[in-house]
Amino acid sequence: MLACGVLVAARQDEPWLAAVEFVVFAVLAVLLSPLVFPKSVTAAQARERSARDGRPIVYWRPGCRYCLRLRRRLGRRAGRVHWVNIWRDPAGAAAVRAVTGGDETVPTVVAGGEAVVNPEPAWLLARLAGA
């Protein structure tokens, strides 16, 4: 995304327009980056840890705007959830497909034995408040 921003900005004759376009691409790069999410674990690690500590598991993937919305709404509480990147963990992708009937729809959240596809952030926040 940053490379695209550089290429688009380099083609502009107006420096201010080039700067604006680069900033837009930089913001998109940050928003779509997996770096805005807490460190991902594997599905096996998430299940093991969740069994011990009762924390919910969120299956997600980079670039998913609904995952980003959930992450933003969780704020600092995002660290109280186990995050599984389904693009890096085939077992995580399989777990999502098992819940969704074969699709890889994310975010898929498993909390207290209940799996919910693309939940409202308030639903997960309520589970975190009750834990």
> What residue ranges do the domains of the chain occupy?
2-32, 38-130
Distance CA 10, CA 78 (A): 37
Q: What is the tens place of the pLDDT at every residue in 80-108?
A: 999 999 999 999 999 999 999 999 999 99
Superfamily of domain 38-130: Glutaredoxin (3.40.30.10)
Distance CA 28, CA 8 (A): 14
Cα atoms found within 13 Å of the Cα of residue 126, Cβ hemisphere only: 5
What single-letter amino acid sits at 79?
A: G
Inter-CA distances, 113 with 15, 21, 73, Å: 55, 45, 22
pLDDT-derived band at 1, boundaries 50, 70, 90: confident
